[in-house]
């Protein structure tokens, strides 16, 4: 995973790059966002989410397609992380992430939805 701040992130797997845009939020502090994204990426792949979706068309906004990959989950968690002044957003929970996704108009795939329950 290569994060590029407010521009999103790229994932690379077996010769294929996928771009995932960031969610549009008003950040309070970006400290810890990369760590939050990496943690979500690891958790997502550990729970069986694909690292990237190799055949997905490029998105310009995160809400243009359901969140299905670990890279998508990383973008969601990072966008929640920056809403806190703290390096670690202590409000992070499965419920808070589902509510955050809903506020942003994001659709969660069944696998991501299941992970956040």
Structure tokens at 29: 């502090």
- The domains found in the chain, sorted by start residue, are 2-115 (3.40.1190.20)
Cβ atoms within 10 Å of 44's Cβ, excluding its own? 25
pLDDT in tens, the chain (117 residues): 999 999 999 999 999 999 999 999 999 999 999 999 999 999 999 999 999 998 888 899 999 999 999 999 999 999 999 999 999 999 999 999 999 999 999 999 999 999 999
Whole-structure pTM value: 0.96
């Amino acid at each position: 995973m290569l994060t590029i701040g407010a521009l999103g992130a790229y994932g690379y797997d077996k010769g294929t790059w996928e771009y995932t845009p960031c969610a549009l939020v008003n950040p309070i502090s970006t400290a810890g966002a990369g760590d939050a994204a990496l943690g979500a990426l690891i958790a997502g792949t550990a729970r069986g989410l694909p690292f990237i979706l190799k055949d997905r068309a490029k998105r310009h906004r995160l809400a243009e397609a359901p969140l299905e990959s670990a890279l998508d989950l990383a973008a969601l968690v990072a966008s929640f992380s920056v809403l806190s002044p703290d390096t670690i957003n202590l409000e992070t929970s499965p419920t808070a992430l589902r509510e955050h996704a809903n506020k942003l108009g994001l659709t969660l795939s069944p696998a991501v939805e299941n992970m956040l329950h």
